[in-house]
Every structure is written in structure tokens, then in C-alpha cells.
Amino acid sequence: MCLAVPGKILRIEGDTAEIDFGGVIRKANVTMVEAEVGKWAVIHAGFAIEIMDEEEARETLKLWNEFLSSEGTTFN
Amino acid sequence: MFKYRDEGTAKRILAAIEDMGIESKFMHVCGTHQDTIVRFGLEEMLGDAGITIQQGPGCPVCVTTSKEIADAITLADNGVTITAFGDMMRVPTSIGSLFDAKSRGADVRIVYSVEDAVKMAAEQSKPLVFVAVGFETTAPSTAVPLRKELPANFSIYSCHRVCPPVLKTVFDMGETKVNGLIMPGHVAVITGYECFRPFSVMYDMPQVVAGFEPLDILMSCYMLTKQRFEERAEVENEYTRLVKPDGNPVARQLMDEAFELVDRAWRGFPTIPKSALALKEEHAAHDACRVHADILATTPDVEEEAKGCRCGEVLRGIMKSEDCPLFGTACRPADPKGPCMVSDEGSCNIAYKFRKV
């Protein structure tokens, strides 16, 4: 139920956007978010519930690894 | 970019957990978390690092009561078109399921979103009800059509529930002893996480809002263990790429416009104060409970659980699916006895799907 899937916004027309889920294109309602073409939206039950912070998504893993290294774990 | 599945990072996180040398039991309240945990074999990996994971009350279809499903069946049997998400269709009650109603000629349809249901209503004259289930993740979308003019024959039967009151109930019942909570990321997308802070204060409970990829789960377990190691109990956010501290205000505004909090029973639980969302008075014309009150008054009494079904205990987090005597024998996805075996989010269904044979 709370499954929500990220997809890229291709086109916006009023409340509706075309979303690209890795090649599968579906429409979603974007009333709840600040939709912009090219951004990633997370879609749940036909509605975009939030815009994914792309920069944050890219950086998170890098930061985790740096952090874990500084913790001095046995894996390098 | 969004697949957090790197094995090297997973090993590092697990080693960091193990280094702290604290054994913990963490609870999550989301079927999608359970799916990730079982599908990717994280239970075993975390077990080796001293972490046990327990699913609590977090599958919306599972916590919907038999009474609510019997109401939907009764509407269908009385000439009302019923539309609902697919998971709802096969949940058994002592008067059958929605699919059973369909097989005896009732008009029961699966929809992907509330907007599908509105379109269908516009194309027919007979009454149509959308059976709305889901937590804060889903409730705002049900509210969206209420801002516009709706077909007069369209109404909503709201089974929507909110997350914080059931967590309070779990803690107050005191049956499950957990050392930390993995919080549902897609609920927090809407609510933000300030509303969860009282649990850390009142129950000395570490909490981490988590995403749904394998590394999200592992990292949240690391962050919880770290809080215990440092003797802290706070709300932290692992899912920073999506969840903001104050959530999605537009979505919350939609919920506030449409719904009010009411007391409601949950499967496996007694009535929980202010735990469910009912349509506000101004939407009475599209509230199935009001529009179809005459039909709903005829809903027969139903048993809350089938004989031997232990879904209630599974949902309260005091029994593992595999320990239910019916699991995999009398109760299977093809012939479910309770909702936890029906829904893709139900822990019994997930345990059966990924069981070792």
C-alpha cells in the first residue's frame, strides 16, 4: 500500500503529468508537489507525493561510506 | 541512482553495527519495509549482527476490520458499484470476500487510484463507492477529487487510518518489547517526523525514518543501534532524499480539508481513539456512510477473525507469521484465512512468498 515508485516527469498538463518509470510511461496527478519537467517524482496510487532530491540521492551513499570509514570499521 | 543495494556498503554497515556489540529488537510498521527485509534476506544478515526485526501494525488492508469489509460487501450486494484497490478484494470475512460478492453478480471493480473510480462514476447512473484504505501516504490522494465537483452518484467509504495513535497503543499495551522503531518513510513524506517525537520522549524510544531499499534498512538499524550505544532516544531521518522534517504541507492541507479524526477499531486492537479519518460534514453528499446509511444498517454481524486465524497477534507484533498453526497449511495466498495472507503488504503473504522450501 505504501509502495511508492520514483519516475521522471516528462510532460505536465494541468494537474496531470506523464511519468517515465524506466521506459514505462504512465500518467500521475501532481497536485501535491511542485512538479517540473526533468525532476524525479515519487508516485503512490496514481499521485505524486513528493519530489526526490536528486543531489541528496547521489550524495547519500558517498557520505555514508566516508562516515563508515571514519568509524574505523574492519571493512575498507 | 536510487538503488541502494551496494554489497560493499552493506558489509560496512553490518560490521559497524556488530562493532557496537549491542543486541536489539527493532520494530517497523510498514509492509513495504517487510518486503525489502524478507526479499533481500536482511533478517539473517542483521541477525548475525545481533539485530532482530519485528513487523508491527503496518499493512492498511490487514488492519481494516472485517466489519468494514462486510459493509463494502453489503453495499455491493445491494446494487452499489464497489471500487477498491486490488488487495481488498480477497480478504475473507464470515460472509465471504468482495470477490465472492462479484462472483454472485455484484458490481465489484479493482481501481488503481481514486481518480479511476471518479471517472467510472461519471460514466454510469447507479451509485458507486470508492472503498478508501491506507495511511497518511494514501489519504491525501483520496481528498484531491473532493476539491472539485464530483458526480452525484460518487461516494467514499473511508477506512483511512493514521499512524501515531496505533504506535502509542502498541507501547501502552506493553506486549511487545522493542528497543527502537524503524519509521515508515512514505508516511513521513506526508507527516514529517515531528509528530513522532513524543514517542522518543515518553517511551525512551530511538526512532529512525527509513527508506525502502536494502541499504536504507541496514543504515536505519545502524543509526538506531548508534542511538542506543550513545544512550540517546531521538527521531532521526535516514531517508533524507525524500523526507523533509515538516513533510508535505500541501498533502496535509488536503487531508485537513477532507477528513476529521475519529475513534475506530483496528484488526487485532481495541478501539483506538482518534485513529481513523472520516469525511467531514461538508462532504456529507459524498460520504458513503451517510449516503448509504440505510443499506449499511443491514450489514450482518461478522466474526472479526476466522477460527484459528492469528492475524491480530501478528499485527500486534507478538507472533511471527510462521508460528501461526494455519500458516502454509490451511492458510495460503491461494486460500487465505486472514488479511495478512492476502495483501502484498501482509507479513504472512511475504513470509509465504519468500519462504525457504
Query: pLDDT tens-digit profile of B165-195?
Result: 999 999 899 888 899 999 999 999 999 999 9
Q: Alpha helix locations (H) across B157-278? A: 163-173, 185-191, 197-203, 214-229, 249-258
Are the CB atoms for B155 and B75 separated by under 8 Å?
A: no
* DSSP states of B70-86: HHHHHHHHTT-EEEE-G
| Model ipTM value | 0.91
Q: Does residue B23 lie in a domain region?
A: no
User: How is residue B260 annotated by DSSP?
Assistant: E
Write out the three cell numbers for B351.
513470509
User: For residues B122 and B114, is the Cβ–Cβ distance under 8 A?
Assistant: no
Determine, for residues B59 and A1 on separate chains, whether the beta-carbon distance falls below 8 Å: yes
Instruction: Please indicate whether, in this complex, the C-beta atoms of B345 and A42 are within 8 angstroms of each other.
Output: no
Answer yes or no: do B345 and A2 touch at CB < 8 A: yes
Q: Which three cell numbers stand for residue B160?
A: 483511512
Closest Cβ–Cβ partner in B6, B19, B244 for A61 = B6
Name the residue type at position B217: I
The pTM (predicted TM-score) of the whole model is 0.94
DSSP annotation of B136 reads T
Reply yes or no on whether the pLDDT at B84 is more than 50: yes
Q: How confident is the model at residue B157 (pLDDT cuts 50, 70, 90)?
A: very high
CA dist B301 and B306 (Å) reads: 13
Nearest CB among B4, B116, B138 relative to A1 is that of: B138
Model confidence over B282-340: pLDDT tens digits?
Answer: 999 999 999 999 999 999 999 988 889 999 999 998 899 999 999 999 999 999 999 99
Contacts of A71 in chain B (CB under 8 A): 16, 19
Distance, in Å, from the CA atom of B243 to the CA atom of A53, rounded to the nearest integer, reads 9
- DSSP code for B283: G
Pairing between β-strand B180-184 and β-strand B154-158 as defined by DSSP bridges: unpaired
Within the 235-294 window of chain B, which residues sit less than 8 Å (CB to CB) from chain A?
240-244, 248, 250-251, 254
Indicate which of A1, A29, A49, A62 best probes the interface with B, i.e. most B CBs within 10 Å of its own CB: A1
Mean pLDDT of B230-246: 96
Cell numbers for B137: 501516504
**3-class secondary-structure state, position B293:** helix
- Overall average pLDDT of the B200-217 stretch: 96
Q: How many domains does chain B divide into?
A: 1
Distance CA B225, CA B215 (A): 15
Query: Residue B159 is placed in which grid cell?
Result: 477506512
Question: Over the stretch B295-309, which tens digit does the pLDDT of each residue have?
Answer: 999 999 999 888 899
B237-255: string of b/e by CB count within 10 Å (b at 16+)?
bbbbbbbeeebbeebbebb
Tell me how far the alpha carbon of residue B88 is from its chain's centroid: 12
Residue B77 banded pLDDT, cuts 50, 70, 90: very high
B300: DSSP letter: P
- Chain B residues with CB under 8 Å of A21 CB are none
Q: What is the CATH number of the domain that holds B98?
A: 3.40.50.11740
Mean pLDDT of chain B: 95
Q: Which of B9, B12, B59 to mutate to test the interface with A (most CBs of A within 10 A)?
A: B12
DSSP assigned state of B333: T
The DSSP 8-state label assigned to residue B15 in this structure reads: H
Residue B211 lies in a domain: no
A5-69 is a CATH 3.40.109.10 domain: no
Confidence of residue A1 (pLDDT cuts 50, 70, 90): low
Whole-angstrom Cα distance, residue B313 to residue B332?
18
For the stretch A37-72, pLDDT in tens is 999 999 999 999 999 998 888 888 788 878 777 775
Signed CA dihedral, A19, A24, A25, A30: sign only: negative
Give yes or no for a contact between B166 and B274, defined as CB atoms under 8 angstroms apart: no
Beta bridge partners of A6: A42
B304 in Cβ contact with B337 (< 8 Å): no
Single-letter amino acid code for the residue at B57: P
Does the CB of B15 have a partner CB in chain A at under 8 Å?
A: yes
Three-class secondary structure of residue B314 per DSSP = helix
Cβ-Cβ contacts under 8 Å, A29 against chain B: 113, 115, 141, 144
For B118-132, the DSSP string reads HHHHHT-SS-EEEEE
Cβ <8 Å between B186 and A61? no
Across B267-278, average pLDDT:
96
Please state the separation of Cα B11 from the chain's center in Å.
30
* C-alpha closest to that of A1 among A52, A43, A45, A33: A45
Q: So where are chain A's domains?
A: 5-69
The residue count for chain B: 357
Residue B1, pLDDT score? 56
Residue B90 CA to residue A4 CA, distance in Å, equals 22
Q: How far apart are the first and last CA of chain B?
A: 34
Asked if A29's CB is within 8 angstroms of B113's CB, the reply is: yes
Distance CA B94, CA B337 (A): 10
Report d(CA B333, CA B344) in Å as an integer.
10
Residue B260 structural domain:
61-162+249-296
Torsion angle (degrees, nearest 10) of CA A10, A14, A16, A22:
10
Q: Which helix (H) or strand (E) holds B52?
A: strand B51-55
Using CA atoms, how far apart are residues B50 and B14, in angstroms rounded to an integer?
Answer: 10
